[in-house]
Every structure is written in structure tokens, then in C-alpha cells.
Amino acid sequence: MTRPGEDYIASLDDGRTVIVDGERVGDLAKHPIFAPSVASVARLYDVSHDPANRDLMTYESPSNGQPANLAWLVPTSREDLKARRLAIEHWAKQSFGLFGRSPDHVASFFAGFVGASEWFSKGGKKYEDNLLRYYERARDEDLYLSYAIIHPQVDRTKAPHEQPEEHLYASIVDETDNGVVLRGAQMLGTGSAISNHIFVSCILPLPKGSEDYAISVSVPCGTPGLRIYPRRLYAGGATSRFDYPLSTQFDETDSLIVFDDVHVPWENVFVNRDIDITAAQFHETAAHNLGNTQAQIRFFVKLKFILGLARKLSECSGVIQSRPNQLDLGELAARVAIPEGMVLGAEGSSTVDSNGVARPNPKMLYAAMTLQPRLYQEIIFALREMTGGSMIEVPSSNLSWGDPVSEFDYGRYVRWPDTDSRERVKLLKLIWDIVGSEFASRAFQYEMFYAGSNSVVKGRSFANYPWGEATDLVDECLAGYALEGFEGVD
Ligand SMILES: Cc1cc2nc3c(=O)[nH]c(=O)nc-3n(C[C@H](O)[C@H](O)[C@H](O)COP(=O)(O)OP(=O)(O)OC[C@H]3O[C@@H](n4cnc5c(N)ncnc54)[C@H](O)[C@@H]3O)c2cc1C
């Protein structure tokens, strides 16, 4: 069943090895820099566990009748997709769309996996059974799964098995009676440091010879031999919540994951050295579709937040009265509406596949993902353009208000017509944290790469567009005339 935030917090104290600046971080929930991120995830769990949100956020687990987060639901109808969307949107609003890999992301992938679980039985019935049992456990215990499904950038010109050393990337190095042994590294586990389990696989196409790397397993974060190396958390450089309101709350962490002969019991192994099934699990099932639909819902919430900042800025500074500003906001609003429209369109034209799983229309989903990096860049640019130097002309920190001279000067010179200095600086520092801070810059990189480089995403758009819809029109047009036949105009 859904769990309260305090249960999630307690679950992180599992002996995991998280290494920062060469030192082992103990219980992350008690660590001053990780604690705010943990608290933000705990808040998500509190929201889904709140009886007031039961109808919005949960459905009845088929195993025990208890409420389960809707992200685990295998959708079989358009109504199911809508229910999933509303739950995902409500969660996304808790972080203003800033938690990309909230627990509903990988849960959505698993909903896709189990909707076509027979793919996993192609390697042996036991793997399908493992998947189904694991999914039920993760759903009913409301686990936070993160994933690491990309190889680190060692030599992109060579296949995994041709790298300078064997097992450089996460791969099976041994098999025992009890399970498999993993060795190597994987990137880039967003949320992994503060999740419960890491799903490890490879979404990149694998050539023959790379069978050891063709895996799909789940590893509890406290497993011996598993080392998690997060990048620097941006809260560490923040002077206060007032100065960096987003960096200090919504840093979801990104980590390099190292497997130093990590034992994975059979019950957590879903694909064992099979290149075809490893690829099929993402794209033949609805997993990639449902997981990335979650990502687009989260994305449009974030864009609305940015649009809200632009509007608020215009109102506070008084330029909202000016026609050019209204036109700028109108154009920004148009861009912000695109991904939401795509999500709704994909849902409205969804189909039920041969397994009975409802899938949002991939034409619109992959179109939205393809446009995402450029759209985000344009929206951030537009907000930057509206602020000019005002985001820079702010006090170095909240401490400035402790000094009467600074307070007087800022109060007199840094204000808007109906907005005093503190409120103005508060808003501008918030805007800086989404367009200019290190946190903001990472968020930009995230929107550009979270689903692969843009060439990979464009490839998905190419592969999923029903080209006949376009080329049939051209054929019809071409068929309407010939070499002769234009009689001129009487
Ligand atoms: C903030 C962030 C969070 C992430 N979170 C996760 C996560 O939770 N889980 C996870 O598994 N992954 C995650 N990723 C990893 C992400 O999936 C990868 O970054 C993405 O797949 C792109 O791979 P890459 O970084 O190796 O870049 P590359 O694929 O190497 O691409 C970098 C650039 O090189 C170009 N390029 C690549 N190959 C070639 C070539 N052969 N010839 C010419 N040009 C080439 C690309 O077009 C691109 O411009 C995250 C990434 C970021 C940035």
C-alpha cells in the first residue's frame, strides 16, 4: 500500500554506500545537504498516502485491495490513462515539475513491462515470474525505484565487449546457484542515492558479442559492493533557502553507479544476457511510452511554473500594462501549451495494443520529446530576456537585511512600484534559481538529455510517425494531374 513519508525516510537507512568528496555519507536523511531532497520525496509519499488524495492518486492493488499509487497501474483504457495523468500531474506540482525522476517515473516503466510480461519469458518462464513478483512487491511496498540504463562514456566508438577492459560497463561477470554477479559501472542514476532500488539495464542497442551487458535486474541500494557517487549537491553551495529556494529543496541527485561484484538474487533478475529481450522490454512493451508520458506530464507542469514566474514578474514590475509585454507573454504561453496539448492529444488518440494495454499515441509523445530541448531553451531565454539585469542586481544573501545600511539602500533602490525590496528580491532569486544558478543549468542539461541525446529522440519520432498520413496526401495530389491535361483558364 502507499506509505507515509516517514516510512520512506526510514527505508533509506539501509547501509548503502554513498560517497561524496571521498567520504561515506551515513544516513542520508540526517545529512545536512541530502536531507532537504529526502524531505521533498517524503512529502510526495505523504501526499499519495493522504486519505484525502486517495481517489486522485491511488487504485486498489489487485493483490491485497490496499491503495497503490496509480503510477503502477497497467492502463487498459483511455480512462486509466487519464487517471494516471491526473495522479502524475498532482505529484509533479509538489516539486513544480523539478523532480524529473520522482518515484512515478520508473514505476511507469514497470507498468509497461508487466503489461507485456511474456517478452520476459522468452528467456525462460522464471524471468517472467520474477518480473511479476518483483512488480507486485514494489507496487505494494510503494518502493522508490530509480534507474541506470546508460553506459558511462568511456569509448563510444566501441561496443561494450570491445572496451579497453572487460566488464567496464554494468554486466554479468558470474552466475551462481543463487543469482548473478554484476561488475562495472552505469550512468546516470538520477535519484538513485535517495531511492530504494536501482533498476539496471541497457537501453542502447547492443551488438552480438555484448551478451553479458544485455541485462535487466533490480538492485537494492544497500547491497554490498554497490557504490553510489553523486555529483556535488547544489544545496551545498547555497547561502540560504531564501537565496536558492529550488536548489535547496528539489535537487534530485545524479550519480555514477559502480558494481563491485554485486550479487543479485535470481528473484531480481528479469533478463539474463539476452540482447533481443533487453531491447524489446523498452519498445515492444509500453514501458518507454508510459515512462516518457510521465516525463512529459512533469515537463508541462514545470513549464507552467516558468510561465507563472514570467507573468508574476510582469505584474510586479508593472510592465504587464504594456502591449509589447502582453505579446511576449502571449507567445510564451503558446509555447508552454505545446507539451500539455501533446499529452492530451496522445491520450485522446491512444489505442489499446495486442496485450490489452492502452498506449498514448506515440506520434505525439515522440514529437513532444523531440521538440523539448529547443522549446525549453526558448522558454528559458524568454524569461531571461524579461528580467534584464534585475536578477543580478540583488543582495549577495539574505544576511544583507541584518545590516541597516544595506537594508536602507536595497529598500530605497531595489523595488518595484507596489513591491517592496524583500518581495522583489525573493521573486528574482527564485527566477535565478530556475534560469541561471548551477541547479538551473543542470535542469537545462536534464531537459536536453534525460531521454537520450536529441538524435536518439528524433529517431524515435521518425520510427513512430505514421508516414502514410503525410505521404498519402502527396500521392493523392500527384495522382490528380499528368503531363498533359491543363486546359488553361477560359
Ligand atoms: C541530468 C541528467 C540526468 C540523467 N538521468 C538519467 C537516469 O536517471 N538514468 C539513466 O539511465 N540515464 C540518465 N541520464 C543519462 C542520459 O540518458 C544520457 O546522458 C543520454 O542517454 C545521452 O547519453 P550521453 O550522455 O552518453 O551522451 P552521448 O550519447 O554521448 O551524446 C552527447 C553528444 O554526442 C553526440 N554523439 C553521440 N554519439 C555520437 C557519435 N557516434 N558520433 C557523433 N556524435 C555523437 C550526440 O548527438 C550528442 O550531441 C541523465 C542525463 C542527464 C544529463
DSSP code, position 450? B
460 CA → ligand 1 middle, Å: 15
Whether the per-residue pLDDT at 298 is higher than 90: the answer is: yes
Whether the per-residue pLDDT at 26 is higher than 90: the answer is: no
Q: Whose CA is nearest to atom 26 of ligand 1?
A: 153
Asked whether 190 lines ligand 1 (CB < 6 A), one says yes
Bridge partners of residue 198, in order along the sequence: 146, 219
Categorize the per-residue pLDDT at 489 as very low, low, confident or very high, splitting at 50, 70 and 90: low
Query: What is the pLDDT of the chain when averaged over all its residues?
Result: 96
Asked whether 189 lines ligand 1 (CB < 6 A), one says yes
Grid coordinates belonging to 108: 511507469
| Residue 19, SS3 per DSSP | strand
Grid coordinates belonging to 214: 544485455
Whether the per-residue pLDDT at 426 is higher than 60: the answer is: yes
Q: Which residue has the cell 491512444?
A: 350
Q: What's the CA gap between 262 and 200, in Å, rounded?
A: 12
Other CB atoms within 10 A of residue 431 CB: 22
CA distances from 263 to 14, 226, 239 (A): 16, 9, 41
Residue in 109, 449, 456 to alter for ligand 1 test, most ligand atoms within 8 A of Cβ: 449
pLDDT at site 156: 87
What percent of the chain is predicted at pLDDT more than 70? 99
Whether the per-residue pLDDT at 2 is higher than 60: the answer is: yes
In this predicted structure, which of 78-87, 299-308, 480-489 has the lowest mean pLDDT? 480-489
Contact 333, 307 (CB under 8 A): yes
Whether the per-residue pLDDT at 230 is higher than 90: the answer is: yes
Length of the chain: 490
Whether the per-residue pLDDT at 258 is higher than 60: the answer is: yes
pLDDT digits (tens, 9 = 90+) for 445-459: 999 999 999 999 999
Asked whether 342 lines ligand 1 (CB < 6 A), one says no
Whether the per-residue pLDDT at 259 is higher than 90: the answer is: yes
Q: Whose CA is nearest to atom 13 of ligand 1?
A: 188
pLDDT digits (tens, 9 = 90+) for 322-365: 999 999 999 999 999 999 999 999 999 999 999 999 999 999 99
Q: Tell which CATH classification among 3.30.56.10, 3.40.50.620, 2.40.110.10, 1.10.760.10 matches the domain 5-283.
A: 2.40.110.10
pLDDT at site 483: 87
For the beta sheet containing 215-220, the strands, ordered from the edge strand earlier in sequence to the opposite edge, are 145-148, 197-201, 215-220, 269-272
Grid coordinates belonging to 206: 547492443
Q: Which value, in Å, is the radius of gyration of the alpha carbons in the chain? A: 25
Strands (E), 49-178: 58-60, 67-69, 145-148, 171-175
455 CA → ligand 1 middle, Å: 10
pLDDT at site 289: 98
For 346: left if phi > 0, alpha if psi spans -120 to 50, otherwise beta; the answer is: alpha
Whether the per-residue pLDDT at 90 is higher than 90: the answer is: yes
Pairing of strands 358-359, 351-352: antiparallel
457 CA → ligand 1 middle, Å: 11
Domain 287-474 has CATH 1.20.140.10: yes
pLDDT at site 490: 56
Q: Check residues 156 and 43 and name the one with the higher pLDDT.
A: 43
Which atom of ligand 1 is the closest one to the Cα of 455? 47
Residue in 106, 145, 151, 156 to alter for ligand 1 test, most ligand atoms within 8 A of Cβ: 156
Asked whether 184 lines ligand 1 (CB < 6 A), one says no
148 CA → ligand 1 middle, Å: 12
Asked whether 169 lines ligand 1 (CB < 6 A), one says no
What phi and psi values does residue 286 have, to the nearest 5 degrees? -85, 10
pLDDT at site 145: 98
Residue among 257, 176, 275, 272 nearest 220 (CA): 257
What phi and psi values does residue 46 have, to the nearest 5 degrees? -60, -40
Average pLDDT over residues 235-262: 96
Asked whether 187 lines ligand 1 (CB < 6 A), one says yes
438 CA → ligand 1 middle, Å: 19
| Per-position b or e across 387-400, b if 16+ CB within 10 A of its CB | beebbeebbeebeb
Asked whether 452 lines ligand 1 (CB < 6 A), one says yes
Average pLDDT over residues 378-388: 96
Average pLDDT over residues 45-60: 98
Residue in 106, 146, 151, 188 to alter for ligand 1 test, most ligand atoms within 8 A of Cβ: 188
Asked whether 101 lines ligand 1 (CB < 6 A), one says yes
Whether the per-residue pLDDT at 472 is higher than 60: the answer is: yes
188 CA → ligand 1 middle, Å: 9
Q: State pTM to two decimals.
A: 0.96
Q: What's the CA gap between 243 and 57, in Å, rounded?
A: 33
Q: Parse the chain into domains and list their residue ranges.
A: 5-283, 287-474
Contact 294, 147 (CB under 8 A): no
Q: What's the CA gap between 403 and 201, in Å, rounded?
A: 54
Categorize the per-residue pLDDT at 231 as very low, low, confident or very high, splitting at 50, 70 and 90: very high
Asked whether 229 lines ligand 1 (CB < 6 A), one says no
451 CA → ligand 1 middle, Å: 8
Q: Which residue has the cell 486498489?
A: 60
Which amino acid, residue 466?
P
Average pLDDT over residues 312-324: 95
